[in-house]
Amino acid sequence: MSNKAIAENPAELPAIPDRSVAVTEYGAVGNGIHDNTESIQRAIDESASAGGGRVVIPPGIWLTGPLTLKSRIELHAEAGALVVFSKRYTDYPLVMSCYEGRQMFRCQAPLDGDGLEDVAITGGGVFDGGGEAWRPAKKMKLTEKQWNELVRSGGVVDEHGIWWPTQAAKDGAETVARLERTGSKDAKDYESVREFLRPCLLSLRRCKRILLDGPTFQNSASWCLHPWASEHITFRNVTVRNPWYAQNGDGLDIDSCKFVTVEHCYFDVGDDAICLKSGKDEAGRLLGMPSEHITVRHCTVYHGHGGIVVGSEMSGGVKNVHVSDCTFIGTDIGIRFKSCRGRGGVVEQIAIERIRMKDIAGDAISFNLYYEGKSGSGKYGEEIFVPVTVETPEFRNIHIEDIVCDGAQAALLVNGLPEMPVSGLSLKRAVFSCKEGIVCRNGQHVIIEDVELHVQDEPIVTLHQSRSVRLVNLSGTGSPDEDRLLVVTGGKSADIKCLSPATPPSHRKVAISEDANPEEVVVL
């Protein structure tokens, strides 16, 4: 891939001593009824005290509360083992954690670790987070029957049509905001809103040499897998499942981490599937820990808000990322970049290649710098220039090639900021069958080369307020009514060249708006 300059740095694997114990040796009972928290935790703790080793969970249904992982421990759930985490809120102590880019109190994750080295979770077993006891649900995402059954089960419905499991969960956001305004650092102050502070299924903070290989992680109360400020992490042969309607049901959130490999994994989730983050707004900028040296390959994503996603919390930066040989089927968006004013941070040196997409509900490839993190946000705004500051997000030097997409809203949508266009974007060797073609607003130094577009709604390419754009060997078909190849709008659009379009002359129609300069557009 030309100009990508992405150096892959393989993640180091953990070193685990060659000794093994079974949780049954500590009194664990796999009947789905017995509380095994003490037994499993004791197996982990005593193995760690002995220098480390493998803790084996055999086939069975193992009910447990949250588990604290330890250094040099491999938790191995054998095929047939189903580890079910408690749905009792009081089983989850409040701990200082990190969520959505900020350090804050959260309920302890079912699989939790801080400051660890050499940790593995392996085997063919299943870890179930019991998320239905925690998650709110939006009426719009459920059938009438599902909604009625949920309401009859108890809980509280707010004025926005959102069901909450308890009144404390419903009121939690307001209470937490008030406590944070007062600067409270005492966990006791947050006890009344424990139900609101939903845990991730797995939370690893400030850890080194982590391996997840084989298990299924499902039904999380919030994000499923969340490594933060950690390094040398490998996700291999992992399956991640959350209900498609799961609120904040992300699959994997790689947050301010470096040297990460994700390979041969499967995702079917309720929010973004594979997401790269690095903190939110000022807190993320002050921490200054980018997500970097990340490799994602040979993964499959079914439902999810995005297949591979960068942002929107990317204030510490994201760089040196290589994504290849992945398949996205039925995701809301395929390749997704999102941020907004106020974030700051730089996303750069991203290489994405050999991606297959089918039946994408929204855009195949999306750059959205108007994302505000709420339903319905993200539409392109007015042409308002804001001074460039540390709060201005920047996306640059991103290279995408060898893409096939059968079914999407748009092939490529770029909504850059007037004061900070998406820069150095290339899309090469791609075939799209979708409703709309390429729409690029506020882009600069953009190359679209050897791309075939078959779109239902004309035109094939629309450029607005974009500069230094090269369309090379562009081919395809637009709408039957008026098969326009290119539309250019905006007075700042300049230096646009369409070279060797591989379409018949009758399909090379170009429309230039009154506010654009026709001398800046060349079709050869």
Helices H, strands E: what count in the chain? 5, 44
Q: How far apart are CA 139 and CA 438, in angstroms?
A: 34
Q: Please identify which of the residues 253, 271, 332, 363 carries the catalytic annotation.
A: 271
pLDDT in single tens digits along all 524 residues of the chain? 544 445 567 899 999 999 999 999 999 999 999 999 999 999 999 999 999 999 999 999 999 999 999 999 999 999 999 999 999 999 999 998 888 777 889 999 999 999 999 999 999 999 999 999 999 999 999 999 999 999 999 999 999 999 999 999 999 999 998 988 888 888 888 999 999 999 999 999 999 999 999 999 999 999 999 999 999 999 999 999 999 999 999 999 999 999 999 999 999 999 999 999 999 999 999 999 999 999 999 999 999 999 999 999 999 999 999 999 999 999 999 999 999 999 999 999 999 999 999 999 999 999 999 997 654 445 676 688 899 999 999 999 999 999 999 999 999 999 999 999 999 999 999 999 999 999 999 999 999 999 999 999 878 999 999 999 999 999 888 766 666 789 999 999 999 999 876 665 555 678 888 888 888 988 87
Whole-angstrom Cα distance, residue 465 to residue 459?
A: 17
* CA 204-210-214 angle, 5° bins: 105
Strands (E) located in 72-223: 73-77, 81-85, 94-99, 102-107, 111-114, 117-122, 126-128, 137-138, 156-157, 162-164, 202-205, 208-213, 216-218
Place of tokens 């498609």: 244
Name the 3-class secondary structure at 182: helix
**Cβ contacts of residue 169 below 8 Å, gap of 6+?**
134, 136, 156, 193, 195, 196
Vertex 97: Cα angle to 92 and 98 (nearest 5): 135
Q: Strands 156-157 and 162-164, how do they pair? A: antiparallel
Tokens, residue 320: 């040196």
- Whether residue 305 lies in the annotated active site: yes
pLDDT at position 375 is 46
- The domain ranges of the chain are 333-524
- The first and second tokens of residue 113, run together, are 């670790």
| 271 counts as catalytic | yes
Q: Yes or no: say if 430 and 455 are a contact pair by the CB < 8 Å rule.
A: no
Phi, psi of 227 (to 5 degrees): -85, 135
Cβ atoms of residues 278 and 255 within 8 Å:
yes
Q: Which of 305, 322, 399, 464 is catalytic?
A: 305
3-state secondary structure 248-261: CCCCEEEECCEEEE
Contact predicate 393/345, CB 8 Å: yes
What's the CA gap between 22 and 78, in Å, rounded? 11
Structure tokens at 366: 């999306």
Cα 48 off chain centre by? 33
334: left (phi over 0), alpha (psi -120 to 50) or beta: alpha
